[in-house]
Chain A
Amino acid sequence: MMVRGPKGHAGLGGGTDLPVLLPAAERLQRRSERERLLGAPRLRLRGRDLAWLCLMLICFTGYAEAQAAAAGREPISIALLRWVPLLFQGFVFNIVISVLSMALGTVLGVVLGLMQISLLPPIRFSSWFVTQFFRNAPWLVLLFYCIFLLPFEIRAFGMRIPFPDWIKAIIGLSLPVMANVSEIVRGAVRSIPSGQWEAAESLAFNRNQTIWKIILPQCVKRMLPPWMNLYAILTMATVLASIVGVSEVMTLARRVLAAEVRNDLLIPLYGMILVWFFVYCYPIARLTQWLERRYAVKL
């Protein structure tokens, strides 16, 4: 395990562990295979990238700061700091949206995924279709559909339940999550060796007992890395909600820039938001990789 490279290239039949020395085609193929297992492109966030990003931002801000001082304008850092509380609230809103969409999408996705392994062909086929449809639809299109097709309030039992845009955005984002979770569940169930089903069956377990007591508990481990990867991707996708007018961090950033009539704020401001997202998603991506490698060793 010690020789395993940072991307887990160990065990290549006596080959090298250095990714650079692998023929490119082979490397790409291996990468696409891993991503197929994961069900989505894997986020490759590296600490090195964050360091570069920060360095570039500091250099640029320093340069702009010097120019601002020369021109007698208010320093950029002061202007930026003034807006940090508001923007950070927006960022927290993004996180809230991501957590709620993930929760909703996971619940729906698990149900859909279980339907995909049903013995009844109509259920199996329809859930497969729904899964493929939402998995391959652009996220933004789904978001638009939800924003414009869902009513702004629901009337039930003589009460009016308002349905604000941010809730619609959560629903819209949870649809692709649902489809991806459905595939993750199906893939994990299919990866369990058939001997497990046979053993359970020979011990007189019925199908439900087999699925809930034997198969799914073993799947949880295998589902965790792709599920966390999906969450990191979703978190980054929450900024799509700004396009449909939810006041999350990007919307607020645009308003701030409109209020402060100066161009040199643009790069430091968006750069700061970028860093926040990176800092939030980086540990998740690393943990995903670590779990992936750990379980790969065990299997």
Chain B
Amino acid sequence: MSAAWSESDPIVDIRDVHKSFGPVQVLAGVSLSMPMRSTACIIGPSGSGKSTLLRCINALVPIEKGSIKVRGIEVNDPKVDILNLRRRVGMVFQQYNLFPHKTALQNVMMAPITVLKQDRAEVEERARRLLRKVRLEGKEDAYPGELSGGQQQRVAIARSLAMSPEVMLFDEVTAALDPETVKEVLITIRELAEEGMTCLLVTHEMGFAREVADHIYFTDRGLIVEHGPPKEFFSNPRDPRTREFLGQIL
């Protein structure tokens, strides 16, 4: 299956995905596709299924209908090699979810050593490099409880990057931060995007979305109502729901 995939194909290809939690339909036929090295932002009102969509992409949540392909790997296939999928898809959460009993460095090193069985010395070198990259040099031995929100979130980003993913998913990663620290996290994400990482972000930072995204998707009640390049999307929204949402937020 992955053999049939080439770099010119979309790295994330979502077609007509449906998902319900009991009687509540959360995704009602979502389609989205991302070329490699692109950045897309998903915006939309609360409860419209943004987080659920991201969770479906790395199989944290199973879908009922439709297809999700990451690098040609069919996520919905019951025989999918889950490790192979998840090592290619990094995910960063709103609440950081760092492992509180491990230092920053250990947080970054854990998955490659435990899951990928990589050589410890090699992983440590990479982990130190990643922490330097997210500007946390000197915080290697700090525990999450000793770091600010913004610092914790950057450790979480480094932790995901340690698995050498090809796609990064960010779920409202700045929503729990205070305004001063939002910036340092956004800078880190922008650098990643500029280096050619494929990034899919759920965000409420419209200015940031306009600046970094190649494509914006607007979701409402489990559907993608409107999408397009940021210039067009923000200056000339067509759907009344988009206009209303942007009117409220801008």
The answer to whether A and B belong to the same complex is yes
- Report which A residues bind B (CB closer than 8 A): 193, 195-196, 198-206, 209, 213-214, 217-218, 298
> Any chain A CB within 8 A of the CB of B93?
yes
Q: A202-B91, A204-B163, A205-B115 are in contact. Are A196 and B97 (CB under 8 A)?
A: yes
Q: Give the contacting residue for B83; candidates A198, A204, A217, A298; CB below 8 A.
A: A204
- 19 additional A-B residue pairs with CB within 8 Å, beyond A198-B97, A201-B86, A204-B115: A195-B93, A196-B97, A196-B99, A198-B93, A199-B93, A203-B86, A203-B160, A204-B83, A204-B86, A204-B163, A205-B111, A205-B115, A206-B83, A206-B115, A213-B110, A217-B101, A218-B99, A218-B100, A298-B145
Question: Quick one: given A195-B93, A198-B93, are A203 and B111 in contact (CB under 8 Å)?
Answer: yes
Contact at B101–A209, with CB atoms within 8 Å? no
Determine the distance from Cα of A247 to Cα of B173 in the docked complex, in whole angstroms: 64
Looking across the interface, which residue of chain A has its beta carbon closest to that of B99?
A214
- Asked whether, in the complex, the Cβ of B97 is within 8 Å of the Cβ of A204, the reply is no
Q: Are A195 and B97 in contact (CB under 8 A)?
A: yes
Report Cα–Cα, A162/B111, bound state, in Å: 50
Give the CA-CA distance A213 to B93 in the complex, in Å: 20
Residues of chain B within 8 A (CB-CB) of A195 are 93, 95, 97
Closest beta carbon of chain B to A222's beta carbon, Å: 11
Q: Which residues of B contact A206 (CB under 8 A)?
A: 83, 115
Give B164 Cβ to nearest chain A Cβ, in Å: 12
What's the minimum C-beta distance from A169 to chain B, rounded to whole angstroms? 38
**Nearest CB of chain B from residue A19's CB, rounded to whole Å:** 29
Q: Which residues of A contact B159 (CB under 8 A)?
A: 203
Chosen A-B contacts, 16 in total, with CB atoms closer than 8 Å, are A195-B93, A195-B95, A198-B93, A198-B97, A202-B58, A202-B86, A202-B90, A202-B160, A204-B116, A204-B163, A205-B111, A205-B114, A205-B115, A206-B83, A217-B101, A298-B145
Q: Do A202 and B99 have beta carbons less than 8 Å apart?
A: no
**Which one of B99, B115, B145, B163 contacts A199 once the chains associate, using CB atoms below 8 Å?**
B99
Residues of B within 8 A of A217 (CB): 101
> Within the complex, what minimum Cβ distance (angstroms) separates B111 from chain A?
4
Chain A nearest CB, measured from B172 CB (Å):
13
Provide the residues of chain B in CB contact with A203, threshold 8 Å: 86, 110-111, 115, 159-160, 163
Cβ of A193: which chain B residues have Cβ within 8 Å of it? 95, 97
Q: In the bound complex, do residue A204 and residue B60 qualify as a contact, i.e. CB atoms below 8 Å apart?
A: no
A46 to B95, CA, bound (A): 41
Chain A residues near B98 (CB-CB < 8 A): 199
Query: Judging by beta carbons under 8 Å apart, are B114 and A209 in contact?
Result: yes
- Nearest residue in A to B86 (C-beta to C-beta)? A204
Given the known interface contacts A196-B97, A209-B114, A213-B114, the answer about A201 and B83 at a Cβ–Cβ threshold of 8 Å is no
C-alpha gap A209/B86 in the complex (Å) = 15
Task: Considering the complex, give the chain B residue whose CB is closest to the CB of A219.
Answer: B101
